[in-house]
């Protein structure tokens, strides 16, 4: 069991300390801005009242217990929730100042700027080469030489090139879990998005593969803005500049659970000096108290 | 703790007594059931081969159909082989594209709308319609106005194939995991792109094999063909006009003859038809074997 006053180094704070200098004191351009965003599935309100800003060339982590809506919020940022017929978003979401849910905005165009890496690696049942070339091809790139260049650059960027350069024509399904996830990252990098959303990208991977992906995130953050959902608080502490803590509000009578944003701040503040007692309870591991107490 | 109730010695052997007896009885019953199912198949194949094999030759497959009184060594089934291939091919061209498109609509575009449920329901009803009714239907709406032709036969066979193609293609499309679709959407692909470049290639061989099974089934149909192409003894390479003949129709015609030569030619036609169906089934098997590994 966790002691309430446990050693904070166990939460990855040494890394956090090392990481501290990188954390910008002044945020860059605002990439996403959400105001009072609520997300419904049919009549069920899954997430309520989320307001936060995500900044350029930063890694923003979403943490919180299961069912708190972190993934749902992430998927509203590139309109993946559009694929669920009953999903509905209320409130304002802007991307570089443009309203994401304005009627004239095409979800397809949005997703070309805002890529996504999923929890479970999902390479297409095509060759490794075709997996990476898929995005450029649907964007109209036909020249073989140009595609070769994009494939190599993306795979190198995703730290996978050395492992697969001799078998680019093999199926993407032949890769191990960690390699497959890096392939999915390479596939996302190939379309040169502005933002990369990552939905628990390491939850199916071992610690070594996780480490590689975290290193990769650090390498690419100078060119991309990254938003990552994670269940792993050490990971949030290690990789992110800012952290948003989500929690569950439970209605005592109906037992309806709705996710909400509790606290959003620089990562070191969230872990070392949280303002909200719910955040403190979560990051120190005192979550066995149950979501009722947490939501109180 | 649990250590107190552990037996002194761990026994991992197969349980004895009644449980083992039940296992034996069930195994024997299943073997018996299997043999009972196999016996009729064996008799049918055995009889067709025994009675038809001696008459099959290159000459039999190409010569025209003689008068019924002719002995077995005169003439052959050439017009029927030609008619079967042409009419079945035409039916395939008519039914398979429509069937696959309908399946794509149901599974990828339709959602749970009224039209989706209607198409699915209609396909089920069509599967249950007796083939002779399908022949009568085409007779009433086409043959009465335009006369007998291979095309009318292809309409009737196409109507029989259509629901089989729709349902088998739909089953295949359902095997494609949503995570693959999401992966493609996340790269900015439109719905049409997702369907054409990810979903269809992943299960194409399954769709092809399902369609081949429908073709094999249609090639062997007799009743709908009798009403729509008539049954003639001369070759008619023009499927769009004039009466025609198929192996199945010819088997029916020859089997009702009192002349031994005509009956023998009927058996030869039966064996030819079985071989054609067998070739299609093996082809379907070969392509399905490939898809199974792709769509884990």
| A85–chain B Cβ distance below 8 A for any pair | yes
- Indicate whether B2 belongs to any domain: no
Query: Domain range holding B38?
Result: 16-55
Residues A112, B188: C-beta atoms closer than 8 Å: yes
Query: What is the least distance, in Å, from the CA of A110 to any CA of chain B?
Result: 7
| B111–chain A Cβ distance below 8 A for any pair | yes
Same domain? B23 vs B137: no
| A78–chain B Cβ distance below 8 A for any pair | yes
Same domain? B20 vs B163: no
| B187–chain A Cβ distance below 8 A for any pair | yes
Same domain? B50 vs B189: no
Enumerate residue ranges in chain A where pLDDT < 50. Answer: 1-23, 288-296
pLDDT value, residue B1 = 47
- Indicate whether B114 belongs to any domain: yes
Same domain? B94 vs B135: yes
Closest to A122 (Cα-Cα) out of A199, A69, A51: A199
pLDDT value, residue A177 = 87
| A84–chain B Cβ distance below 8 A for any pair | no
pLDDT value, residue A24 = 52
The whole-model pTM stands at 0.81
Same domain? B213 vs B167: yes
Q: How far apart are CA A58 and CA A38, in angstroms?
A: 24
pLDDT value, residue B19 = 84
Contacts of A137 in chain B (CB under 8 A): 197
pLDDT value, residue B196 = 93
- DSSP-assigned beta bridge partners for residue A244: A62, A264
pLDDT value, residue A296 = 39
Same domain? B190 vs B141: yes
Local confidence band at B163 (pLDDT 50, 70, 90 cut-offs):
very high
Residues B183, A112: C-beta atoms closer than 8 Å: no
Q: What percent of chain B has pLDDT over 70?
A: 94
Residues A122, B182: C-beta atoms closer than 8 Å: yes
Q: Indicate the range of A249-253, B31-35, B250-254 predicted with least confidence.
A: A249-253
Residues B190, A124: C-beta atoms closer than 8 Å: no
- Indicate whether B4 belongs to any domain: no
pLDDT value, residue A127 = 93
Same domain? B148 vs B285: yes
ipTM given for this complex: 0.84
pLDDT value, residue A25 = 55
pLDDT value, residue A251 = 82
Give me the mean pLDDT over the B130-138 stretch.
94
Domains of chain A, earliest start first: 8-21+28-120+193-209+221-295 (3.40.50.300)
Which one of A111, A118, A138 has the shortest CB-CB distance to B179? Answer: A118
What are A109-166's pLDDT values in tens digits?
Answer: 999 999 999 999 999 999 999 999 999 999 888 899 999 999 999 999 888 999 999 9
Same domain? B51 vs B89: no
Same domain? B198 vs B64: yes
Same domain? B22 vs B71: no
pLDDT value, residue B3 = 55
Specify the number of domains making up chain B: 2
Q: In what order do the strands lie in the sheet with A87-95?
A: A98-99, A87-95, A30-41, A44-55, A257-266, A242-250, A59-63, A225-229, A195-199, A114-117
pLDDT above 60 (res B291):
no
| Chain A interface mutation, best of B176, B187, B206, highest count of A Cβ atoms under 10 Å | B187
pLDDT value, residue B105 = 94
Same domain? B286 vs B210: yes
Same domain? B127 vs B21: no
pLDDT value, residue B113 = 87
Residues A138, B188: C-beta atoms closer than 8 Å: yes
pLDDT above 60 (res B15):
yes
The CATH number of whichever domain residue B223 belongs to comes to 1.10.3720.10
Which one of A80, A124, A171 has the shortest CB-CB distance to B180? Answer: A124
pLDDT value, residue A66 = 86
Q: How far apart are CA A112 and CA A192, in angstroms?
A: 8
């Amino acid at each position: 069991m966790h002691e309430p006053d446990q050693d904070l180094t166990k939460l990855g704070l040494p890394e956090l300390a090392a990481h501290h200098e990188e954390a910008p004191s002044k945020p860059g351009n605002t990439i996403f801005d959400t105001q009072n965003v609520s997300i419904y599935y049919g009549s069920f309100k899954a997430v309520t009242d989320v307001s936060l800003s995500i900044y350029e060339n930063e890694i923003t982590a979403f943490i919180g217990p299961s069912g708190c809506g972190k993934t749902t919020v992430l998927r509203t940022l590139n309109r993946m929730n559009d694929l669920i017929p009953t999903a509905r978003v209320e409130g304002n979401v802007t991307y570089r100042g443009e309203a994401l849910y304005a009627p004239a905005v095409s979800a397809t165009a949005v997703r070309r700027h805002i890529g996504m890496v999923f929890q479970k690696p999902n390479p297409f049942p095509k060759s490794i080469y075709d997996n990476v070339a898929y995005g450029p091809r649907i964007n109209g790139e036909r020249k073989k030489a140009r595609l070769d260049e994009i494939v190599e650059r993306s795979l190198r960027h995703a730290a996978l090139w050395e492992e697969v350069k001799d078998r680019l024509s093999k199926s993407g399904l032949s890769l191990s879990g960690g390699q497959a996830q890096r392939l999915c990252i390479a596939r996302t990098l190939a379309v040169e998005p502005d933002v990369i959303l990552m939905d628990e990208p390491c939850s199916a991977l071992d610690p070594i593969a996780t480490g590689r992906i975290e290193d990769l995130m650090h390498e690419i953050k100078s060119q991309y803005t990254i938003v990552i959902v994670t269940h792993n608080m050490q990971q949030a502490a290690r990789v992110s500049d800012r952290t948003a803590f989500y929690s569950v509000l439970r209605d005592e009578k109906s037992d309806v659970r709705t996710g909400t944003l509790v606290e959003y701040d620089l990562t070191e503040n969230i872990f070392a000096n949280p303002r909200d007692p719910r955040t403190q309870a979560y990051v120190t591991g005192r979550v066995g108290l149950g979501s009722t107490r947490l939501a109180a | 703790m649990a250590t107190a109730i552990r037996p002194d010695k761990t026994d991992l052997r197969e349980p004895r007594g009644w449980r083992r007896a039940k296992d034996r009885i069930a195994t024997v019953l299943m073997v018996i059931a299997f043999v009972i199912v196999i016996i009729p198949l064996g008799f049918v194949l055995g009889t067709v081969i025994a009675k038809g094999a001696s008459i099959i030759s290159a000459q039999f497959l190409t010569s025209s159909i003689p008068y019924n009184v002719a002995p077995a060594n005169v003439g052959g089934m050439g017009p029927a082989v030609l008619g079967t291939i042409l009419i079945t091919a035409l039916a395939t061209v008519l039914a398979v594209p429509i069937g696959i498109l309908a399946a794509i609509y149901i599974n990828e575009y339709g959602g749970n709308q009224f039209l989706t449920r209607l198409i699915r329901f209609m396909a089920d009803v069509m599967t249950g319609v007796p083939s002779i009714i399908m022949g009568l239907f085409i007779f009433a709406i086409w043959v009465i106005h335009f006369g007998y032709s291979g095309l009318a036969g292809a309409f009737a066979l196409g109507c029989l194939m259509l629901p089989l193609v729709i349902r088998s293609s739909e089953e295949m499309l359902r095997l494609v995991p949503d995570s693959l679709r999401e992966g493609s959407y996340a790269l900015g692909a439109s719905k049409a792109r997702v369907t054409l470049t990810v979903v269809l290639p992943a299960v194409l061989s399954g769709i092809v094999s399902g369609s081949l099974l429908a073709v094999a089934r249609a090639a062997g149909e007799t009743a709908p063909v009798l009403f729509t192409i008539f049954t003639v003894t001369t070759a008619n390479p023009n499927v769009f006009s004039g009466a025609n003949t198929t192996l199945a129709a010819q088997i029916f015609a020859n089997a009702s003859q009192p002349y031994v030569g005509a009956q023998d030619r009927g058996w030869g036609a039966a064996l030819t038809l079985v071989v054609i169906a067998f070739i299609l089934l093996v082809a379907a098997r070969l392509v399905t074997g490939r898809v199974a590994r792709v769509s884990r």
